[in-house]
Amino acid sequence: MKRTFRILAQSFRAIGRNKGRSFLTMLGIIIGIASVIALVAIGNGASNRITGRISSLGTNVITVRSGAAPTGANADGVFGAGLGGGGQKVVRMDGGEGPSAKSIRATLTTDDLKTIKDNANAWNLTGVAGYTSSNSELTLHDKDSSGNNQTVRMAISGAEPSYFDIQSLTFAKGKAFTSSDVTSANKVIVLGSQAASDLFGTDNPIGQTVKLENDTYTVVGVLDSKEESGFNNANRQLYIPYTSAQSTYSLTNLSAIYAKASSENVVASAKTDITNKLLSAHGKTDKTADFSVSTPDDLLNTVKQSTSVFTTLLAGIASISLVVGGIGIMNIMLVAVSERTREIGLRKAIGARTRDVMLQFVFESVLLCLAGGLIGIAVGALTAANAGRFLNDITPSVSMSSVLLAVGVSTLVGLVFGIYPAAKAARLNPIDALRYE
């Protein structure tokens, strides 16, 4: 053991004799480890942000959608560009066509909605709401720079009072429309916070009217502002009874049905019950189903798999620099063997074993890589923290697993790329080494 520590001390001294060269040798490892740490941290931050937004939708919410959900659609089956981008492009779920989007045939009926409501107690559901969607062109409160009216196409959501509770939407002003409004298809409307600002500015919207197609709706409520999830921007939505939406937009079926389970523990069983019941009602099988049933957990698992693959890919690309750094270390160690040939010969001549010489050069290689790895971890963490200032709503997260992996990889690189130079040094004949000029 003492012999090993003595060899380790000699390795430290050898590295210290050429500080500049040692640092330049470590540079490839530093850059490689820093890149991996920073990219994985940013990937973790993005993943945490997305999963946080999905969780905010409610972990016990079950969504039944008509047809197959389109790629890029949000939780309501619409593509949202936001008002800032010139309006929202929506996917019409009623068989008609929205602007710049494909239509999806609405296959859910009011009978399906009634079936789920009738079985709500048996399936441990505390709320069920029918939902349909369309869009209308509305005039904004603010005029353009020339004093002309500005119009924008906004998403209209037809729902039920229970929808607001299911989606955890609260009211800043007024109230939700009632079940009686749904039954009578009354022309009443609830505005998202941003929609209210866009349509009425700083005026109080309650009691004012909004023209949707050929019908006039009276504003009864304004929602509190809610963090945009990227899946369902409630702030820019307009909500009316789904029966009123069917009347105004000549719709028949529903685009979705939302249900809220009594707890997270019964979500899976409720999802199975809903699926089986609707498959039977529609005369379909799992493979031919004309609807889909999903929960936030389903989406979370998909997102986690996608972000994991993406983060691994980024880390793999960054790891290429580790290989380059390892080759650099091998080259420098081979140079060191050539420079210290006489020293090696002298040590072997006075009793140093082949194993001792090999251990010293392996130690030097591992120490260089390990030091480079530790510095790289610090540089990567600082880079990730500073990058977070420029990334919207993403907080990079350096995980302990990535730090431990970086230390392990650094050590492994030192071993792999240090063995050949060490073996070359250990095999030197002491007589030939002493004659080396």
- Bigger pLDDT: 59 or 113? 113
| Confidence bin at 112 (pLDDT 50/70/90) | very high
Residue ranges with strand state E in 33-185: 61-66, 125-139, 151-159, 171-174
Q: What is the pLDDT of residue 185?
A: 95
| Confidence bin at 67 (pLDDT 50/70/90) | confident
Which range has the worst mean pLDDT, 39-53, 158-172, 350-364, 422-436? 422-436
| Confidence bin at 179 (pLDDT 50/70/90) | very high
| Confidence bin at 101 (pLDDT 50/70/90) | very low
Render pLDDT for 190-200 as a digit per residue (tens, 0 to 9): 999 999 999 99
| Confidence bin at 227 (pLDDT 50/70/90) | confident
- Bigger pLDDT: 188 or 365? 188
* Residue 286: other Cβ atoms inside 10 A: 8
Residue range 131-153: mean pLDDT, rounded: 84
- Written as six digits, the tokens of 44 are 């973790």
Q: What is the pLDDT of residue 298?
A: 78
Using DSSP bridges, classify how beta strands 61-66 and 209-212 pair: parallel, antiparallel or unpaired.
Answer: unpaired
| Confidence bin at 88 (pLDDT 50/70/90) | very low
Q: Taking 60 as the threshold, does the pLDDT of residue 78 lie above it?
A: no
CA distance 1 to 19: 27
Nearest in space to 328 (alpha carbons), one of 34, 23, 33, 7: 23
Q: Is 389 helix (H, G, I), strand (E, B) or coil?
A: coil
| Confidence bin at 89 (pLDDT 50/70/90) | very low
Q: What is the pLDDT of residue 187?
A: 96
| Confidence bin at 73 (pLDDT 50/70/90) | very low
Residue range 119-123: mean pLDDT, rounded: 94
Q: What is the pLDDT of residue 361?
A: 80
Q: Where are the domains of the chain?
A: 2-51+303-435, 60-294
Which range has the worst mean pLDDT, 28-32, 64-68, 276-280? 64-68
In angstroms, what CA-CA distances link 222 with 129, 179, 234, 236, 291? 19, 18, 11, 11, 32
Q: How many CA atoms lie within 13 A of 58 on its CB side?
A: 22
Measured CA angle at 296 (ends 128, 395), to 5 deg: 135
Q: Taking 90 as the threshold, does the pLDDT of residue 39 lie above it?
A: no
Q: Taking 70 as the threshold, does the pLDDT of residue 433 lie above it?
A: no
- Bigger pLDDT: 152 or 307? 152
Residues 6+ apart with CB under 8 A from 234: 167, 169, 192, 223, 226
Whether 98 contacts 135, CB under 8 Å = yes
- Written as six digits, the tokens of 29 are 């490892």
| Confidence bin at 366 (pLDDT 50/70/90) | confident
Which range has the worst mean pLDDT, 202-206, 265-269, 296-300, 373-377? 296-300
Q: Taking 50 as the threshold, does the pLDDT of residue 117 lie above it?
A: yes
Residues 6+ apart with CB under 8 A from 12: 367
Q: Taking 70 as the threshold, does the pLDDT of residue 20 lie above it?
A: yes
| Confidence bin at 25 (pLDDT 50/70/90) | confident
Q: What is the pLDDT of residue 98?
A: 39
% of the chain residues with pLDDT over 90: 32
- Written as six digits, the tokens of 42 are 């940013």
Residue range 235-259: mean pLDDT, rounded: 93
Residue showing tokens 């298809």 = 185
| Confidence bin at 435 (pLDDT 50/70/90) | low
Q: Taking 60 as the threshold, does the pLDDT of residue 69 lie above it?
A: no
% of the chain residues with pLDDT over 70: 86
Residue showing tokens 């296959």 = 107
Average pLDDT over the chain reads 81
Residue ranges with strand state E in 46-123: 61-66
Which range has the worst mean pLDDT, 93-97, 119-123, 155-159, 362-366? 93-97
Nearest in space to 408 (alpha carbons), one of 397, 419, 398, 416: 416
Q: Taking 80 as the threshold, does the pLDDT of residue 280 lie above it?
A: yes
Q: What is the pLDDT of residue 45?
A: 84
Chain center to CA of 257: 26
| Confidence bin at 184 (pLDDT 50/70/90) | very high
CA distance 48 to 50: 6
Q: What is the pLDDT of residue 114?
A: 95
- Bigger pLDDT: 219 or 54? 219
- Bigger pLDDT: 368 or 300? 368
* 130 backbone φψ class: left, alpha, beta (φ>0; ψ -120 to 50): beta
CA distance 300 to 51: 6
Q: Taking 60 as the threshold, does the pLDDT of residue 403 lie above it?
A: yes
Alpha-helical runs (H) found in 71-205? 110-118, 161-166, 179-184, 193-200
Please measure the distance between the N-terminal and C-terminal CA atoms of the chain and give it in whole angstroms. 34
